[in-house]
Amino acid sequence: MVTLKNLTAGYENAPIIQNINMDIKEGEIVGLLGHNGSGKTTLALTLLGFTKIFSGKAEIDGIDVKKEKREIRKLVSMLMQVPDNQLFARTIYEELAIAPYKRGLSQTEIEDIVNTIATQIGMKDKLHHSVHKLSFGQKKKVAMGVLLSIDPKYYILDEPMAGLDFEGRSFMEKTIKELKERGKGILLISHDVLSLTLCHKIYIMKNGKVVEVVDGKNIKDIIPDLPQWGLYMPTL
Crossing angle for the helix pair 92-102 and 107-120, nearest 10 degrees?
130
Q: 173-183 pLDDT, tens per residue? A: 999 999 999 99
- For helices 166-181 and 136-150, what crossing angle results, to 10°? 10
Amino acid letter, 17: I
**Residue 193, pLDDT score:** 84
What value, to the nearest 5°, has the Cα angle with vertex 158 and ends 154 and 161? 115
Rounded Cα gap, residues 123 and 98, in angstroms: 17
Q: Is 69 or 20 the better-scoring residue by pLDDT?
A: 20
Please answer whether residues 45 and 51 qualify as being in contact, where contact means their C-beta atoms are separated by less than 8 angstroms. yes
Give the percent of the chain with pLDDT over 90: 77
Q: What share of the chain is helix, strand, coil (3-state, %, to 5)?
A: 40, 30, 30
Residues 116-137 have pLDDT tens digits of 999 999 999 999 999 999 999 9
| pLDDT computed for residue 227 by the predictor | 85
**Average pLDDT value for residue range 142-148:** 96
pLDDT over 70, % of the chain: 98
94 has a pLDDT exceeding 80 = yes
Give me the chain's average pLDDT, please: 92
Distance, CA of 68 to CA of 53 (rounded, Å): 13
Backbone φ and ψ for 41, nearest 5 degrees, come out as: -70, -35
Fold classification of 2-219 is: Rossmann fold (3.40.50)
Dihedral (CA of 60, 148, 176, 196) sign: positive
Among candidate residues 181, 190, 186, the one with its CA nearest the CA of residue 163? 190
Give CA–CA dist 133/128, Å, rounded. Answer: 11
What are the distances in angstroms from CA 201 to CA 32, 138, 208, 217, 221?
A: 9, 29, 19, 8, 13
**Residues 118 and 134: beta-carbon distance below 8 Å:** no
Domain boundaries, the chain: 2-219
Give pTM, 2 decimals. 0.92
How many Cβ atoms are within 10 Å of 212's Cβ, its own excluded?
14
Which residues lie below 8 Å from residue 36, measured CB to CB, with a gap of 6+?
Answer: 191
Model pLDDT for residues 181-196, shown as the tens digit of each residue:
999 999 999 888 878 8
Structure confidence at residue 236 (pLDDT): 54
CB atoms within 10 A of CB 126: 18
Going by C-alpha positions, the residue among 65, 55, 38 that lies closest to residue 154 is 65
Summarize pLDDT for 9-39 with one digit per residue, the tens: 999 889 999 999 999 999 999 999 998 889 9
Task: Considering only CA atoms, give the Rg of the chain.
Answer: 18
> In this structure, are residues 132 and 95 in contact, taking their beta carbons and an 8 Å threshold?
no
Distance between the two ends of the chain, CA-based, in angstroms?
A: 34
